[in-house]
Structure 1
């Protein structure tokens, strides 16, 4: 048999079940051959064979074009070609599992017998969003080269911009998009109430005293599209608005007025800030002048003033009490002068108080003599 094959100028080639063979005779495509023993012409070793394992289903060969041009029926029987247009994406499935993703203007040739194959084509010019179920399958298959995911948390919204143009607002959840041929951006905006602090803001009062103030504001975004589209950074805009408003308000007041009217200052300065920020979709809840910080020398002066004021108040209270005490003594003296018995009773009270502090008492001339010498009551 081998001798006969040599005489006839042929060669027997065994092709396994999981293989396919591309044969060329004298540089010309003979065809694609399946499993079994194939008898092929081979005069003067003019046969070239190329084996392909179906476990690697992609057909990558320099003879692909020649096959489809010279043997189109054979090529179409053995090979499946997927091709995408401009702006298209194709999801290729093999036996129910995602095998590959083709971007715009790409091609993939596979062995048909390695399938079954299925194609899902998407026109990204019409819709960039990826179905959530498909997005999860792509993530699990780790086919992410043309996919971009964005997570929007509870209390937030996402603003979708395509090529710099606002498209729509994304609600909380996971959002997937085809990232092909267009610049895609998602701007996350927090809708919850937030606090902004302006710390250590220096300004000059009307009486030329340099002070530092701490300001706090609570705000929330009510129109995210306007807030993002009107200014570069709405939080920075609010920060500067608070600075300017309080600088203008406090700069027209003296230090004493600022310290006395902190609540009214908040109302005066806050109104302008609220109007300006509402115009860009930001609602201001509370604005508070938290602290007024004075220079060290000014604090000492004010402490001295406060100490002097408190000392003066203490002196007034002390004199008032002394006057009241003197007036009380005068009234008591008048009562005793008009009623001698009251005077004697006071003397007895004093004697009782003295006796309570004496340990030993020596009495001369008896108790009657003691009482007669110390207390002499007149007949009333």
Structure 2
């Protein structure tokens, strides 16, 4: 009966469930928001329009939003919650105590009030550019990280934070987060630990016009990260070029023999100069080593021949010295024997003993008696 009566009266029966809300228009004119229940709405000649909204989607989105706010402010206040941010502001919007969304500067969010309860916190990013660790964890767990930038600094390093190209802060080891809020945030990580830099295959023309290649190694540490970042574009590249130029100048003023003989002295001179230059940009040099001097192939052959000749000459000198010492020793022995016939005879017996040990049979023609008589005679002669 109700349906027939509605048709006679030019009305339509609309049912709105608990998880719905609806906008309704008659003759193109917005009438209001329908709450859960049965509604009998005027529908002359089919001019009724009903726009249903599911409460599963808490954000209000409709092409009639502006008309609703302009014509029916009381209805808006009853059914909708509006969150706005100004320039340089962000808003952390919570739904029933849990993070729902983070609004950036100059944004607006319209929510169905009945899907709440809704609360929010407005943050002035000019006064509070950095997030607290508690808020960082909350937003990270909710995967709402679009409005801020995380800076991670490892142990033994620092990070220089630049806002719109201006250095604003030096960050020690840890995790930091900063609101973007229309600003350009960049950071530069600088390692403060001791590092090494190798310069390999550097060609140098010596004073005697020999082209050599050298390998260098330097150990350094950044002691003033602000200077290292601002004084030069890249302090590592600056150190690399300084090593090249200083050693090229130092070694180019020496002959090859001097380079090979005074390698340690050259290192000391070069190290002193480079230390002074790098200290001006906040870099401390610990050690510089000229590791290798690589000669051209033909030069290596020549030097090998020179070294071989020198070693042979030294060997000949040693050999002659030993021969002279041996001859002098024999001469002294001969003098002793000439003055002492018994000693000479004993040497003969030693020689005879040595020979006897190397042969199977030894024949003594004078007999053992004759041998003993000779010994007695030698003794008597010596006593006389």
TM-score normalized by the length of structure 1: 0.95
Aligned to 2:52: 51
1:109-128 deviation line (CA, Å, top 9, x unaligned): 11000011111222233343
Report the RMSD for the aligned CA atoms in angstroms. Answer: 1.9
Name which of structure 1's ranges 118-127 and 206-215 shifts more when overlaid on structure 2.
118-127
| Contact 1:31/1:71 (<8 A) preserved | yes
- Look up the SS of the partner of 1:207 in the other structure: coil
Answering whether residue 166 of structure 2 is matched by residue 160 of structure 1, we say: no
Aligned to 1:63: 64
Aligned length: 380
Answering whether residue 356 of structure 2 is matched by residue 379 of structure 1, we say: no
Aligned to 1:291: 292
- Look up the SS of the partner of 2:380 in the other structure: coil
Aligned to 1:74: 75
> Against the structure 1 CA distance between its residues 376 and 200, is the aligned structure 2 distance closer, same or farther, given a 3 Å change threshold?
farther
- Look up the SS of the partner of 1:358 in the other structure: coil
5 Å-filtered alignment, 1:1-380, equals 1-362=2-363, 366-369=367-370, 377=378, 379-380=380-381
> Against the structure 1 CA distance between its residues 378 and 99, is the aligned structure 2 distance closer, same or farther, given a 3 Å change threshold?
closer
CA–CA distance in structure 2, aligned partners of residues 374 and 311 of structure 1: 50
Give the C-alpha shift of residue 366 in structure 1.
4.4
CA–CA distance in structure 2, aligned partners of residues 292 and 366 of structure 1: 76
Gaps of 5+ in 1: none
Give the C-alpha shift of residue 135 in structure 1.
2.2
Gaps of 5+ in 2: none
CA–CA distance in structure 2, aligned partners of residues 49 and 227 of structure 1: 67
CA–CA distance in structure 2, aligned partners of residues 270 and 339 of structure 1: 71
CA–CA distance in structure 2, aligned partners of residues 365 and 102 of structure 1: 131
- Look up the SS of the partner of 1:216 in the other structure: strand
- Look up the SS of the partner of 1:379 in the other structure: helix
Give the C-alpha shift of residue 58 in structure 1.
1.1
Give the C-alpha shift of residue 288 in structure 1.
1.1
CA–CA distance in structure 1, aligned partners of residues 196 and 376 of structure 2: 82
- Look up the SS of the partner of 2:30 in the other structure: strand
| Contact 2:190/2:225 (<8 A) preserved | yes
CA–CA distance in structure 1, aligned partners of residues 142 and 303 of structure 2: 73
CA–CA distance in structure 1, aligned partners of residues 148 and 141 of structure 2: 12
| Contact 2:342/2:379 (<8 A) preserved | no
